[in-house]
Structure 1
């Protein structure tokens, strides 16, 4: 698999795709509302991406960037196979991945310098952004929005969008560097694997799903396959609890609303989590949440 995330104009997201899947996505674009792909690394490196635009009957406008606006370059390629090959070599970070390609500047101007945040403001906003980074599910965009909105009062915004973006990118890159040292399997890795197995087995399993329990219970019904037997999820507040070292509550149930199915789903969830090497607490009652305790919450960023 390629360690990239692909986003399409029609709002589909594909993470860690194969070279064949990436090629399929390139070949697919061209119809109205589905004209481009943006490919970023996992974890995301702000300002580093490769993207392509194609309209049926025309060429493929390929662009890539490695940080600054002046590094943003473009070319036109006449073959989807050539685009897919270039994108795949970029994803694999192959030396000379774009050999034989003539690039020109995309003409993107450098942004205006960003005023430094006042110390008092920075000391309030930075801990909140770090807290969200520890949760592990945010992106630079969502962290920027959180930083910009955090201290808003009576319509006054002490943090501009540009200041929020600069802060989010700096702290994001610090966390990316930190996680390079995580060479072992982490507890969030184990949880992700267990949820993936449950999802394949007919139990809709969603991480960091909605803001709270009530929203999650209302939306989980439409979140998975139509033939799913049941569900399990944890919400955004639960993520923050886990990241702060307070454990994680999981909510589960059967889609037929029976206590028997809910209990059976609970047993299946507990078994999958235990097999993954996680510490699980549950008394077997369909009215009680399943809890994960003793978590070392090192969630790898994707972006």
Structure 2
């Protein structure tokens, strides 16, 4: 009863029950760019891309309903274009060749991860997590290779960087791992640039990034 009277008194005094957040100004050109980055990357479906844009890139609590409908329409349009492009892609793309290279590396004891987190530190953390999980299951790994989310965003420039290393953290072993990665990638018909420096990432160059998007 007291709570009801307090709310009633608040309304009488013009005090709102709950503050409503002001709509967030929307930079539509930037949002379109973000949507196309997600669609081109190929790791998001239409639904997950919409979720990523609305909840991670924008503030869903401050998104105007009209703007949200516009975002939904732009995501739908971007993925319709992507699906149309995919329909005329060759059966085997450079991404499929990269998958084959990573599968071959995994079979030889090198943890090879696609889009491992968003940054290099994320990727290293993911690689070590897989390493420890493998040891618990009796599987030993010698080293790792990965690319992360920022690398996927930049792949439109024509190249993809691969980070690598050895779990025993010795430069000699890391250099050997790097050489094996280069060999596995080149065996699939992709080119590489690497001078044997353990502190320099391996560049796959060129690479025509065509990854088919998952279906919801």
Q: TM-score normalised to the size of structure 1? A: 0.55
| Unaligned segments of structure 1, at least 5 residues | 1-119
Contact 2:94-2:208 at 8 Å conserved across structures: yes
Residues 1:208 and 2:106 are matched in the alignment: no
For CA contacts below 8 A with separation 6 or more, give which structure has more relative contact order: 2
258-267 or 167-176, which deviates more: 167-176
Q: Distance in 1 between matches of 2:157 and 2:209?
A: 7
Q: Distance in 1 between matches of 2:212 and 2:75?
A: 16
- Between Structure 1 and Structure 2, how many residues are aligned? 182
Residues 1:253 and 2:160 are matched in the alignment: no
* CA-based RMSD: 2.3
In structure 2, the partner of 1:241 is: 154
In structure 2, the partner of 1:127 is: 33
In structure 1, the partner of 2:99 is: 192
| Unaligned segments of structure 2, at least 5 residues | 1-25
Deviation per CA, 1:175-219: give whole Å up to 9, x if none: 112101012422111111101111122111001110100121122
User: Where in structure 2 are the equivalents of 1:79-228 lying within 5 Å?
Assistant: 122-149=28-55, 150-152=57-59, 156-158=62-64, 164-224=71-131, 225-226=134-135, 227-228=140-141
- Quick one: structure 1 residues 256 and 184, their matched pair in 2 at CA, closer, same or farther if it must change by over 3 Å? same
Q: Greater share of helix residues, 1 or 2?
A: 2
Contact 1:152-1:158 at 8 Å conserved across structures: no
Contact 1:234-1:251 at 8 Å conserved across structures: yes
Q: Distance in 1 between matches of 2:123 and 2:64?
A: 32
Contact 1:246-1:293 at 8 Å conserved across structures: yes
Contact 1:129-1:146 at 8 Å conserved across structures: no
Rg larger for: 2
Q: Distance in 1 between matches of 2:84 and 2:46?
A: 15
- Quick one: structure 1 residues 157 and 219, their matched pair in 2 at CA, closer, same or farther if it must change by over 3 Å? same
Residues 1:281 and 2:193 are matched in the alignment: yes
- Secondary structure in 1 matching 2:210: coil
